[in-house]
Structure 1
Amino acid sequence: MKARLSVALATLFALIVSALTVMPAAYAATGFYVSGGRLYEANGAEFVMRGVSHAHTWYANRTGSFAGIKSLGANTVRVVLSSGDRWTRNDAADVANVIDLCRQNRLICVLEVHDTTGYGEQAGAITLARAVDYWLSIASVLAGQEQYIIVNIGNEPYGNQNYGTWAADTSDAIRRLRAAGFDHTIMVDAPNWGQDWAFTMRDNAQSVFDSDPDRNTLFSIHMYGVFDTAGEVTDYLGRFRSAGLPIVVGEFGHDHSDGNPDEDTIMAYSQANGIGYIGWSWSGNGGGVEYLDMVTDFDAGRLTSWGQRIFNGANGIGQTAREATVYGGVGPTGSPTSGPTTSPTIPPTGFPTSSPTTPPPGPGTCVATYSITNQWPGGFQAEVRVTAGGAPISGWTVSWTYGDGQTISQSWNAAVTTSGAAVTARNLGYNGALGVGASTSFGFLGAWTSGNSIPTVRCVATA
């Protein structure tokens, strides 16, 4: 009997030790950690990145961009830095200021070294080992910031040539950072200019993850022309999800010189599967890709069509972002916060901001709710949310008539036409089909003079 009890106790002890052993090492630290293919804050709240990149190293004086990015609802900003090898070095003092700006604006800060871009193909590009030298040189301002920053070792660290050593070089870089005391979540970019068309990162991700003593590595895929179909997007991201490996879309756009990426699937699949995404980029693009600017001249009030799509479109940042709990955002057990924490302008007292509540629709029908989301003298921004009834629908048409002479100047996520005061909005190809009780939204900018009353809206569904 004593022997059997001893064996039982020994077995129980082994199980306890085993359970403790497999807990993520980073969980015991003070910042972000990954587990089961997902990213968590130190308190155990899951965090899904919804953000954009900002080219700080080339526009270091545009510090107001952090507030602008936050005002449109982002919870993350990916900040371009330089080691000094290709562009002006961002020293420790500058990086400390960047981190402070992120914290002031309640943003999680992904810091990346851009000098590695296209190594092996791009003249002047540096190795991942050289990027690690940079991180070690500014370690003093990164220490203690594990709750607020993620270290993206190097942007697109290989081009389309000589990328066969990506796995070994990435593992070596991670181990050097860990040996130097870095307890941060480490993000690693794919080769092939970030797009991994040869599947080098995909096929070696497990071994790279296992090489991290903290098991706290996050993989980043950049999605441009290589990912121009829904199948390519879902297959790539799905393989990481199935393998239990953490993945984020670290860059993507709505168009590119190498092809037209399927941004609708990127955003929809990411939202459905709890995958983070970071769009490229806030403002200041050149070299023929100026169309990737989200705002004009770094002005949050001047959204481009790409900016409208990523911030205000279906599965966009404004609709899906949740602020990090370290800043007071509510985690998955509570009512999540979303969008900007403050509004730059508030509708004047007495102006209604939303159409009256409508009874739930019946089968094969839809209901639309019109809301004013922002208003200023002479102008406004509005959103219309369309919700399917008791049966799936394949399309919708929303109509209303303005009573105060309002006009519409720009719209997104719907085909909007006007005839005098009458307005008609029809779904686009990607947001017409809605399941039972499912919703989508479209938005627009408009002008008003004497008043801006909420019109009565009508929704007609296509079965």
Structure 2
Amino acid sequence: MRRTLAAATGAVLAVCAAFLAGAPQAQAAGTTAGFHVQDGRLLDANGKDFVLRGVNHAHTWYPDRTTQALKDIKAQGANSVRVVLATGDQWTRNDTADVADVVSQCKANRLVCILEAHDTTGYGEAGAAAPLSKAVDYWLGVKSALVGQEKYVLVNIGNEPYGNTGYSAWTADTKTAIGRLRAGGIDHTLLVDAPNWGQDWSFTMRDNAAGVFAADPDRNTVFDIHMYGVYDTAAEVGDYVGHFVSAGLPLVIGEFGNMHSDGDPDEDAIMATAQARGIGYLGWSWSGNGGGVEYLDLVQGFDAARTTAWGQRLFNGADGIKATAKEASVFSDGGNNGGDTTAPTAPGTPTASDTTASSIRLSWPAATDDTGVTGYDVVRVSGSTETVVATSTTTGATVTGLSANTTYTFAVYARDAAGNRSSRSATVTAATRPGSTTGPCSVSYRLSDWGSSFNADVTVRNTSAQAVDGWTLDFSFPAAQRINSVWNARATQSGSLVHVTNESWTKTIPAAGSVSFGFNASSTPGTNGVPASFVLNGTTCTVS
């Protein structure tokens, strides 16, 4: 749904007027008990500007994955994580001890922790959703895990607290929720999500934000917009963000993706606008999505080594997390010097080993850092261009998705906990093997194009008299398609080149037999054709 330009202009003037006339200013800069808002900016406890750059993690559904997930999220360069919790109204309640443990793990990984109550999602439209009042009850019930953590924790009162029904109650209910939390002793920075499943197409949050901010006696509320299909153009992204910046009101993009069932969000515009305007963003989500939105996983199967196309974009792309995230100063030297700004030493020169027709194993001497090295980025070097092809928390990584009988140049960077990146290591040049012959083979590739994305069903046939035990299949997309999810195989992608390897249950291709796998990928209209060639274990196959 869209408004006319005249209506939008009137709305923003009303927001600005309300803010200037009635919204008291935040406290002065300086050391406080925790995060706080000043002049529309989020500051940490040391009065340092802090811009959220992180991801969402579905802790309440995958509690056994959280310990490793937080380590891996930090290793990808994030400075924050938005953690899904449950109040017990829709999903199993995360109790006080569990909340305290999550906070402790966030702190150990030097991640600012945004805790959100998910049971409010779509209230008024989703039958099982809980009202904001239930979320307030929950936060007051786990209060002992929160008090004293104001320097490290932000409280997101309720996720997407209204659907597309009854959302006019958002303003009054949000004011009431803030008032109850403050009266109950919750002094943290509060995040309030927009209605309309978080996307605020009705502009309810935008047009009432000044009044909600003024209703917080601590003037310490940040507004949280979720950007999916409603925000499919740069103009829409820029207009929405611009309203808040112009009004001097704090905004964060608490969720967004590179595609969605309701449309194709413009993730490039979202990230570029956030960077240009100095506002935070948190991508949805680390892993574990289901119900048809598996394409929103940043890594496959909670495996940091299996970054999806969406993950590559968010972490390694322009205006991405690795390029823009800065650690909160409260994690470094007490914040007295504004945080750690010293980069690690460069890693030692890498060496290559275990080469195959499609992969090379690299190892390197460790870098050093005064606060500790948290990870390494392996880059492929081609002239003046560098492309991140692997990340690792150890001093080794296997680069996959390479072409047979091809020479490559690699180098390594180190990262520390504050997000500082070292200078580049010396380069190493190595070549893949020519590849082994598996005998004749053929590949069929069947498309189901849905416009915003497409599915491909791929069948690999072994037309020889000898079984193939373990396989890799390489092909290149004809345009800028990106793989979102894969089934019955594993896949990595570098540019247009796709490298597929078997799962344990698809490892063997019997003589005169076949295996099949499939994937979902982003769509480039008019160019989603069959790849020109397929290479199985170094041998080019017939396309059938």
Identify the residue that residue 160 of structure 2 maps to in structure 1: 156
| Deviation (angstroms), 1:328 | 1.1
**Secondary structure of 1:226 counterpart:** coil
Structure having the higher strand fraction is: 2
Cα distance in 2 for partners of 1:214, 1:253 equals 32
Identify the residue that residue 18 of structure 1 maps to in structure 2: none
Identify the residue that residue 90 of structure 2 maps to in structure 1: 86
Question: Where in structure 2 are the equivalents of 1:130-169 lying within 5 Å?
Answer: 130-169=134-173
Identify the residue that residue 73 of structure 2 maps to in structure 1: 69
Deviations, residues 352-405 of structure 1 (Å, cap 9, x unaligned)? x999x9xxxxxxxx95467887563653896899xxxxxxxxxxxxxxxx9531
- Choose between structure 1 and 2 for higher RCO, CA contacts under 8 A separated by at least 6 residues: 1
Q: Mind listing any 5+ residue stretches in structure 2 that lack a counterpart?
A: 1-23, 349-360, 368-376, 402-409, 414-427, 434-473, 475-490, 499-544
Contact 2:400 2:492 in 1 (8 A): no
2:140 aligned partner, one-letter code: L
The question of 1:376 aligning with 2:380 is answered no
Identify the residue that residue 45 of structure 1 maps to in structure 2: 48
State how many pairs are aligned. Answer: 369
Identify the residue that residue 245 of structure 1 maps to in structure 2: 249
**Secondary structure of 1:213 counterpart:** coil
Cα distance in 2 for partners of 1:159, 1:194 equals 8
Identify the residue that residue 254 of structure 1 maps to in structure 2: 258
Identify the residue that residue 348 of structure 1 maps to in structure 2: 364
2:364 aligned partner, one-letter code: P
Cα distance in 2 for partners of 1:108, 1:251 equals 16
Cα distance in 1 for partners of 2:197, 2:388 equals 42
2:100 aligned partner, one-letter code: A
In 2 relative to 1, CA 337–156 (structure 1 residues): closer, same or farther, beyond 3 Å? farther
Cα distance in 1 for partners of 2:336, 2:265 equals 32
Contact 1:39 1:47 in 2 (8 A): yes
The question of 1:59 aligning with 2:62 is answered yes
Cα distance in 1 for partners of 2:307, 2:269 equals 22
Contact 1:152 1:187 in 2 (8 A): yes
1:272 aligned partner, one-letter code: A
2:252 aligned partner, one-letter code: V
Cα distance in 2 for partners of 1:282, 1:309 equals 13
2:62 aligned partner, one-letter code: Y
| Deviation (angstroms), 1:59 | 0.6
The question of 1:316 aligning with 2:316 is answered no
| Deviation (angstroms), 1:219 | 0.2
In 2 relative to 1, CA 211–170 (structure 1 residues): closer, same or farther, beyond 3 Å? same
Cα distance in 2 for partners of 1:66, 1:338 equals 22
What is the TM-score of this pair, normalised by structure 1? Answer: 0.72
**Of the candidates 166, 191, 198, which is equivalent to residue 194 of structure 1?**
198
Cα distance in 2 for partners of 1:255, 1:216 equals 32
What is the TM-score of this pair, normalised by structure 2? Answer: 0.62
1:290 aligned partner, one-letter code: E
Cα distance in 2 for partners of 1:316, 1:198 equals 29
**Secondary structure of 1:220 counterpart:** strand
1:54 aligned partner, one-letter code: H
In 2 relative to 1, CA 331–116 (structure 1 residues): closer, same or farther, beyond 3 Å? farther
Cα distance in 2 for partners of 1:180, 1:26 equals 25
1:311 aligned partner, one-letter code: F
Cα distance in 2 for partners of 1:312, 1:95 equals 30
Contact 2:121 2:159 in 1 (8 A): yes
In 2 relative to 1, CA 337–65 (structure 1 residues): closer, same or farther, beyond 3 Å? farther
In 2 relative to 1, CA 94–226 (structure 1 residues): closer, same or farther, beyond 3 Å? same
Cα distance in 1 for partners of 2:182, 2:366 equals 57
Cα distance in 2 for partners of 1:176, 1:229 equals 38
**Of the candidates 166, 171, 183, which is equivalent to residue 179 of structure 1?**
183
**Secondary structure of 1:61 counterpart:** helix
In 2 relative to 1, CA 172–67 (structure 1 residues): closer, same or farther, beyond 3 Å? same
- State, as a whole percentage, how many aligned pairs show the same letter: 56
In 2 relative to 1, CA 87–25 (structure 1 residues): closer, same or farther, beyond 3 Å? farther
The question of 1:405 aligning with 2:431 is answered yes
Contact 1:113 1:155 in 2 (8 A): yes
2:59 aligned partner, one-letter code: H
Deviations, residues 304-361 of structure 1 (Å, cap 9, x unaligned)? 111111111111111111111111187996775799xx99x9942499x999x9xxxx
Identify the residue that residue 352 of structure 2 maps to in structure 1: none
**Secondary structure of 2:81 counterpart:** strand
The question of 1:215 aligning with 2:219 is answered yes
Cα distance in 1 for partners of 2:230, 2:33 equals 37
2:173 aligned partner, one-letter code: D
In 2 relative to 1, CA 384–71 (structure 1 residues): closer, same or farther, beyond 3 Å? closer
| Deviation (angstroms), 1:299 | 1.1
1:241 aligned partner, one-letter code: V
The question of 1:288 aligning with 2:255 is answered no
2:178 aligned partner, one-letter code: I
| Deviation (angstroms), 1:27 | 6.1
Cα distance in 1 for partners of 2:109, 2:29 equals 25
Cα distance in 2 for partners of 1:338, 1:118 equals 44
